A and B are shown apart, each in its own frame.
Chain A
């Protein structure tokens, strides 16, 4: 049984546009720069497969559940290696909302559907804050970097 008290809800505010943020979350050329070198790969159509690839190896696989560019993205998340691979898929939801009257976008990441005593929950809890912090600094300080769109 999934337990709501095991859910993660992470929020960060980023000085960028929803479209750029969407691109940063969905294009491997971008994700590998801040997401532990991972290529997050999919055609982002509902029902399509989604994979996290690192060093040519699939680390996470899943399926696209919702893709409403540039507002809402949701996919299932299943670790392909180690103890956690025996657990049922969890669910990642990324919500992008422009903050009215500012040039800031609010990104909310929700990771849900963990089983009790999930083996992969502890690593997830360390992963997202690092990913989001890296994403924020890349988008904000990377204003003059090449933006591969």
Chain B
């Protein structure tokens, strides 16, 4: 999760993500286009690497062409961690109800928390 916050803590990288949100499957050249005044190709490549490491973009190779797609799943994980907590409680309640109705016993061991 550190990598995601670090990647998002930069206006240029957020702009690149906005660009990919509007249009998926862009090549490096396509991504550079709107930033031609403000960023060198080298700088864009550096940003893309950081975004890729944070899993905020997905690369799909098509022959020798590298296409970039926005991958908002890690951002959703952030939302899940802090915003959807109450929804999770509802899910747990539903699961408990299911066990009660089916007469099965849910395991009572404490839940392990994932590292990410």
Whether A144 contacts B24 in the complex (CB less than 8 A), given A11-B55, A129-B73, A134-B80, comes out as no
Pairwise interchain contact A141-B55, C-beta atoms closer than 8 A? no
Whether A132 contacts B24 in the complex (CB less than 8 A), given A15-B114, A143-B112, A144-B111, comes out as no
Pairwise interchain contact A9-B58, C-beta atoms closer than 8 A? yes
Q: Mark out the residues of chain A between 12 and 31 whose CB falls within 8 Å of any chain B CB in the assembled complex.
A: 12-13, 15
Pairwise interchain contact A146-B58, C-beta atoms closer than 8 A? no
Pairwise interchain contact A13-B71, C-beta atoms closer than 8 A? no
Query: Is B29 among interface residues, defined by CB-CB distance under 8 A?
Result: no
**Secondary structure of the A contact surface, majority rule:** helix
Which listed residue (B73, B107, B116) contacts A144, Cβ 8 A? Answer: B107
Query: Is A85 among interface residues, defined by CB-CB distance under 8 A?
Result: no
Beta-carbon nearest neighbor of B72 in chain A: A129
Pairwise interchain contact B110-A140, C-beta atoms closer than 8 A? no
Whether A132 contacts B76 in the complex (CB less than 8 A), given A140-B114, A144-B110, A144-B112, comes out as yes
Query: Is A1 among interface residues, defined by CB-CB distance under 8 A?
Result: no
Which residues of B are found within 8 Å of A42, using beta-carbon distances?
Answer: none
Which listed residue (A8, A128, A133) contacts B24, Cβ 8 A? Answer: A8
Which listed residue (B55, B72, B75, B106) contacts A13, Cβ 8 A? Answer: B55
Q: Roughly how many angstroms separate A136 CA and B84 CA in the complex, as a whole number?
A: 14
Q: Roughly how many angstroms separate A128 CA and B73 CA in the complex, as a whole number?
A: 8
A66 to chain B, nearest CB (A): 18
Query: Is A54 among interface residues, defined by CB-CB distance under 8 A?
Result: no
Which listed residue (A7, A15, A129) contacts B25, Cβ 8 A? Answer: A7
Q: Mark out the residues of chain B between 67 and 93 whose CB falls within 8 Å of any chain A CB in the assembled complex.
A: 69, 71-73, 75-77, 79-80, 91
Query: Is A137 among interface residues, defined by CB-CB distance under 8 A?
Result: yes
5 extra interface residue pairs, beta carbon distance < 8 Å, beyond A130-B76, A144-B111: A8-B24, A10-B69, A137-B77, A137-B114, A145-B95
- Chain A residues within 8 Å of B, Cβ to Cβ: 4-13, 15, 33, 108, 128-130, 132-134, 136-137, 140-146
